[in-house]
Amino acid sequence: MEQLANLLRQANVGKVMLGENLAQHTTMKIGGPADLFVEPSSVEGLEYTIKLIKEHGVKWRAIGRGSNLLVSDHGIEGVVIKLGEGLDALEMNGSEITVGGGYPLVKLATVISRKGLSGLEFAAGIPGSLGGAVYMNAGAHRSDMSKILKKAYVLFEDGSFEWLSNDEMKFSYRTSILQKERPGICVQAVLELEEGITEEIKAELQKNKDYRRETQPWNFPCAGSIFRNPLPDYAGQLIEKAGLKGYQVGGAQVSEMHANFIVNKENATAEDVLNLIRHIQVEIKQKFNVDLHTEVEIIGRK
């Protein structure tokens, strides 16, 4: 791994670090070390990083801003590529915008609202990157990424790059083709928005921000919603009905504000969170005969 790290540094692809603690790169502030951590400073740097990884036959995976992610206490084998600064370019052409996968979603929603463009108001307060939002079809307030994505530039597991149309992304509730059928990451996306009245768009964005602030526990490190909603039910409502608000395992606690959030209250470990997730799933199955499936992605060494 040191040889690969040295080659990447020589190529000046971006930040390259051995044994980087991933707790510093997740919103839950949990996670062990990556064997090798790379944050490319450009799409070209990313492409060259993938080329060298393939030549060395090393495992790799990508992360964005680390929301909706639970990383094992034992870290991640191989190379972790972070799509961040350097992969956050933004180009605007009328109501169509091209944006890098590392662009913060909240910032993007704010920037385009000031330009009088509508379509991302739902993203107010969602603490992820554009690439992660496309990957999981992030959404809220009866809208999601599938409503505005025109096409996505995707890096696949085999190291190939390809543009996929909206139809080819096979979006559904909190899922896309990139999760299981064709595992990959969104490096860049073209979004088709609508022109609107700037003040109305900004007001809607602020309303959604305020709603999140009032109903979700961002005063503690967390990963966002833990479970997918088992429609027509809502995970948070079922967990609250089961009397699990405030239930704690180690340093991980079911939020007292919103029951579909688990917060890192007291130096929680990934194992604490996993044990709490399992406890919730068992209780909900026993009480309501409903299977809860995680929305948060659980990755890393067992």
Q: Is the pLDDT of residue 125 over 80?
A: no
199 included as an active-site residue? no
Rounded CA-CA distance 13/261 in Å is 36
Residue 274 falls within a domain, yes or no?
Answer: yes
Residue 226 falls within a domain, yes or no?
Answer: no
Taking alpha carbons only, the member of 290, 275, 273, 274 closest to residue 239 is 290
- Same domain? 178 vs 75: no
- Same domain? 163 vs 256: no
Q: Please count the structural domains in the chain.
A: 3
Q: Is the pLDDT of residue 218 over 80?
A: no
- Same domain? 129 vs 152: yes
Catalytic pick among 72, 118, 146, 225: 225
278 included as an active-site residue? no
Q: What SS3 class is residue 127?
A: coil
Residue 241 falls within a domain, yes or no?
Answer: yes
Catalytic pick among 174, 182, 212, 228: 174
pLDDT tier, 212 (very low <50, low <70, confident <90, very high otherwise): confident
Question: Within a 10 A sphere around the Cβ of 165, how many other Cβ atoms?
Answer: 11
Predicted pLDDT of residue 159 = 83
What are the DSSP calls for 139-197, one per residue?
EETTEEGGGTEEEEEEEETTS-EEEEETGGGT-BTTB-TTTTTS-EEEEEEEEE-EE--
pLDDT tier, 216 (very low <50, low <70, confident <90, very high otherwise): confident
Predicted pLDDT of residue 211 = 84
Q: What range defines the domain where residue 290 resides? A: 235-299
Residue 227 falls within a domain, yes or no?
Answer: no
The stretch 288-292 carries a mean pLDDT of: 97
Q: Is the pLDDT of residue 263 over 90?
A: yes
Q: Percent of the chain having pLDDT more than 90?
A: 82
- Same domain? 242 vs 269: yes
295 included as an active-site residue? yes
Mean of per-residue pLDDT scores for the chain: 94
Predicted pLDDT of residue 40 = 95
Residue where one domain finishes, among candidates 82, 114, 141: 82
